[in-house]
Amino acid sequence: MDRIALKVNKFYERYPYPSLPIKTERDLISKLHANVMGKILATAGLTTAELSGKDILDAGCGTGEKASYFSYHGAHVTAFDLCSASLVKAKELAEKFKLHVDFSLCDMAEFRTEKRFDHVFCLGALHHTEKPYDNFLALEKLCKPGGTITVGLYNRYGRLGHRAVRTWIGLRAGEDFGKRMEYVENKIYGRKMRSVHEVAYVADKYVHPHESYHTVEEVMGWFEKNGFTYIGAHPKTDAGTRAFLTQLKWMVKGNGFFVMSGRK
């Protein structure tokens, strides 16, 4: 594990993400997830009906809600994460709904498999690694020809305001996770966090030790250099100058996270 992965591992062992409160099947497939999952799938031109029988990789699966969601819809799912506390939760969730997911504990930089996948998802994980593009390269190689890759990343423009807040928290509370969380509770929220999910969400946003920032043009470049055709994005965006203008809008609205898909 490199220096960043060590820090990131320590963080997620304490705050496994997203730790959604999924109690019923409805929570898994509709209430908590349907909206966001529908939008993520749409970026790759997919609907839930098309997942059945497909080989899916979820790289940096966290607490496994998305992996279980894919499995519920009939996909053969392989999922890995750097953090064992997240995987304990991910496995519990899959078992609860009698779903099969091939989970493993692994650093993305070291993940190897002979398998090839119809759809590779890496949501919210690359920007917590030391070399996001190198990891993208390793993942894109695991796509079958005609398969898709979907990446979710922090946006350089959309996350600008938030970066200022993170810097301020760093200046006031330092690097210690507990101290940062206490600062956020006292000074930003003015109260204690109310649930495990809220702790996970807020820690991910304000306490995280490492994040990098990316642009639509950059990911378009990743796709082009590696023979992928751009399919779609959420929030929606075009290529070229219009992508820049779209990202300026994201900056104003504070849209810090974007998802893009490409086809091999």
Ligand X SMILES: C[S@@+](CC[C@H](N)C(=O)[O-])C[C@H]1O[C@@H](n2cnc3c(N)ncnc32)[C@H](O)[C@@H]1O
Nearest residue to the partner ligand X, using Cβ: 62
Residue 214: DSSP 8-state: B
Is 62 a binding residue for ligand X by CB under 6 A? The answer is yes
Q: Give the separation between CA 40 and CA 106, rounded to whole angstroms.
A: 24
Strand ranges, E, within the chain: 55-59, 76-81, 101-105, 117-123, 143-154, 229-234, 257-263
Shorter beta-carbon distance to ligand X: residue 18 or 147: 18
Report in angstroms the alpha-carbon separations of 84 from 134, 175, 263: 23, 22, 31
7: Cβ contacts below 8 Å, ≥ 6 apart: 209, 210
Please report how close the Cβ of residue 14 comes to ligand X at its closest, in angstroms. 11
Shorter beta-carbon distance to ligand X: residue 131 or 217: 131
| Stretch 187-206 residues interacting with ligand X (CB under 6 A) | 204
Q: Give the separation between CA 144 and CA 56, rounded to whole angstroms.
A: 11
Residue from 15, 17, 183, 228 binding ligand X (CB under 6 A): 17
Q: Tell me which residue of 198, 176, 21 sits closest to 96, measured CA to CA.
A: 21
- Count residues near ligand X (CB under 6 A): 22
Is 94 a binding residue for ligand X by CB under 6 A? The answer is no
Please report how close the Cβ of residue 240 comes to ligand X at its closest, in angstroms. 28
Is 159 a binding residue for ligand X by CB under 6 A? The answer is no
| Stretch 107-146 residues interacting with ligand X (CB under 6 A) | 107-109, 123-125, 128-129
The helix or strand, by DSSP H or E, that contains position 215, with its residue range, turns out to be none
Interface contacts to ligand X, rule CB under 6 A: 5, 8, 12, 17-18, 60-62, 66, 81-83, 86, 107-109, 123-125, 128-129, 204
